[in-house]
Every structure is written in structure tokens, then in C-alpha cells.
Amino acid sequence: DAKTTQPTSMDCAEGRAANLPCNHSTISGNEYVYWYRQIHSQGPQYIIHGLKNNETNEMASLIITEDRKSSTLILPHATLRDTAVYYCIVRVDDYKLSFGAGTTVTVRA
């Protein structure tokens, strides 16, 4: 069973920040949070991951709450090419990715 819940969909204006929430209230202490996205018919594309601390890379930032029961993915300046399904994922058993249903993000001009 999926360990994450996300909004089904959200819209974002081009050039603005997109904040994608995710709940993972049953996450265990050593389970990482990963974010991937899937653009149309491509395979899932890695975005970022973290355990406890906030993380940032060239694509996005990941904010994890202190109790680790939720997190937010931030796309700082959304572009039309960021339109995709975004998956918040918990890594269980040290290697297995538990996908949820994802959030369909539509970036509008």
C-alpha cells in the first residue's frame, strides 16, 4: 500500500514557484522521502530526496517537517516543461520505492 497522499492535481503559473505538498504520516525513522516526476510517456525522472534535513539541488527544494510526517517539493520558477505527474515516494526496506498516485501539475502561461 502507498505510504503517501498527495493532491490529485494543481495548476501553477509559469515563472512562479510551485509548492507540492505530500503527507507521509506513517513514515518510519530510517525511510527516505523521494520525489520523481513523469512527463507524458517517459519513465519516472528523479528530482530530489531527503531524510530529515531540507535539501536543495538544481531542480528543486525539499522541505521536510520536523516530525517527518509531511514534506513539500518546491519548484522555484515553474516552466511549461515542468508540466508532469509528480510522485512523492517513501523508500521502504532500504531499496523499495513505494509510489503514490501522484499530483498532476499543469503549468500555465
Partner 1 sequence: EAGVTQFPSHSVIEKGQTVTLRCDPISGHDNLYWYRRVMGKEIKFLLHFVKESKQDESGMPNNRFLAERTGGTYSTLKVQPAELEDSGVYFCASSRNNYGYTFGSGTRLTVV
Instruction: Write out the residues near partner 1 by the rule CB under 8 A.
Output: 2, 32, 34, 36, 41-46, 49, 87, 91, 93-101
Q: Looking at beta carbons only, is 67 or 81 nearer to partner 1?
A: 81
Q: Looking at beta carbons only, is 12 or 44 nearer to partner 1?
A: 44
Cα dist from 85 to 14, 46, 54, 66, 97, whole Å: 16, 12, 22, 26, 16
Min dist CB 40 to partner 1, Å, is 10
Q: Looking at beta carbons only, is 2 or 59 nearer to partner 1?
A: 2
Q: Which residues contact 58 (CB under 8 A, 6 or more apart)?
A: none
